Structure 1
């Protein structure tokens, strides 16, 4: 059965994407279509801050894009990062949400905490339990449409936080064309998986137009509770939600829903 995953393939390669691999493992044929595009911003400011370790009590990453932004900032200061800054950050707390973000953080040489938390809500509780209100602010590079759950929770519990928007999210310029081409070639898939509230907002109208009445027969899947809630808010019937935001858990959820 065909499954449509509304996300960009890792490294632009469908075959090596872990979500594709896990779908294959459970007997499904997956196609990944990007629905979001990203523009990095404030990189000069970010470049300064990642080397100002003495000003912060730790780091928070809730998306792979934020880690990519930091990687872009290292540039010709990579030696300084490896020799000095990396170890200074590792002496503090480096918090992450999700295994994909954690993997990228490790590539920077940092030791992530919280990769199994799965959501910003759960991570915020873990931070509040670990951190004292008297610490230096945690530095949180983030996207332009981040949810306010984590900042609000930390602020209400007295944990200092400094945020910096380092990327902006927009609809992918080819999302309608790519969806139209997919439906023309493959027809309606057995399941469609959404990976973010933005993805729901940006492609739902096109998906409804292409699927028509057959949308009711498509098993709609969510990568996590935040995305599920966005789908429900749009009146969609959510067939399954991954227990954790990982390729294996999503594949298991979709496979079960399709039986």
Structure 2
């Protein structure tokens, strides 16, 4: 930064031109300011010409000495006992004629270079604060519209992370769910020893299964559990599963892990796959192609949220066009994007479209040519992507 060398040069010139004036005398009176004062650059003491010289006031057994010192160290010391006791006290200060007495003297020696360093650091800190404020102001101008399913936007990790990063976040629920086939799920899992594992590709699938089964102790013991994404992993772990595949990022990558694991089993048995009535084919197709037996069961039905269109129109009416739109699932694209396209606003103008993962991108890119995909389905990856825009 250019201002740093300028400050250093200024400090050197200023230090050379400035002369500290100190009282230089002895007195028997504590408050006597003396009649004589000398500038440090003309004192006979050679070292008083140094930058950083200080004025001092010293008391030794009632005799007060005032002078200037190149290096002043404060003292408060008594030696001996009774009538042989000798006490020495010295105070140091660094402003003109500040050593009139102990009451007016500073208790800390402040060198000029310390002041300069403080000034430089202050400028750096102020500049950093200004830059952060400017960055935050720029982000606050960026309206981010999320289509994400969650039980509470106030507690949602993605919403909180984006708000903490300074973005103006607006979230809309894109869909609603209804659990179904609970009896069938319960029947399958009651015979969990007949299967090798269970696959969850959404948090909602875990919730649907947990509604059907109350005791998961044997199920979690008998079945290997594969999941996609941290939210699904958390929900499955809450049931007692030791999960795998959370870091796969998408169904295709998860299928590769499952196939590798399944081929190593001494006694491979079918896998259970609770899923939505609307699902992608990539996972089941990949497993079937590798001859991995899969029992699919629709555990919940998905439909557009009853207030989706109303909420989208209210957003545009109150907040104009968003700078960024983020979709968190293929179904959120299928339900929300047609409403955006039908709106009277120019939703394509200067709007960036972000997808949480490859499966969502695959659906979104059919209507939006330029789609940005988060590197991972977590809040940090989404925030990093938006900061790069």
The TM-score normalised by the length of structure 2 is 0.61
2:321–2:345 contact (8 Å) kept in structure 1: no
Alignment of 1:52-71 (within 5 A): 52-71=191-210
Where does residue 374 of structure 2 map in the other structure?
A: 242
Aligned partner of 2:185 among 27, 42, 46:
46
Alignment of 1:90-109 (within 5 A): 93-109=224-240
Instruction: State the Cα deviation string for residues 194-249 of structure 1 (Å, max 9, x = none).
Output: 112222221222212336335221111111112112121114432x2101111221
Where does residue 147 of structure 1 map in the other structure?
A: 280
| Change over 3 Å in CA distance of 1:38–1:130 after alignment to 2 | same
- 1:213 counterpart SS class: coil
1:28 lines up with 2:28 in the alignment: no
Where does residue 161 of structure 1 map in the other structure?
A: 294
Structure 1 unaligned residues grouped into runs of 5+: none
Q: Distance in 2 between matches of 1:187 and 1:233?
A: 25
Aligned partner of 2:319 among 186, 202, 216:
186
Q: Distance in 2 between matches of 1:119 and 1:147?
A: 11
| Change over 3 Å in CA distance of 1:44–1:254 after alignment to 2 | same
Instruction: State the Cα deviation string for residues 147-203 of structure 1 (Å, max 9, x = none).
Output: 111111111112111111111111111100000111112111211101122222212
1:135–1:160 contact (8 Å) kept in structure 2: no
Aligned partner of 1:3 among 144, 149, 170:
144
Q: Which structure's relative contact order is higher, taking Cα pairs within 8 Å and 6+ residues apart?
A: 1
Where does residue 386 of structure 2 map in the other structure?
A: 254
Where does residue 85 of structure 1 map in the other structure?
A: 219
More helix by share: 1
Aligned length: 246
| Change over 3 Å in CA distance of 1:253–1:72 after alignment to 2 | same
Structure 2 unaligned residues grouped into runs of 5+: 1-141
Identify the range of structure 1 (174-183 vs 211-220) with the bigger mean alpha-carbon deviation.
211-220
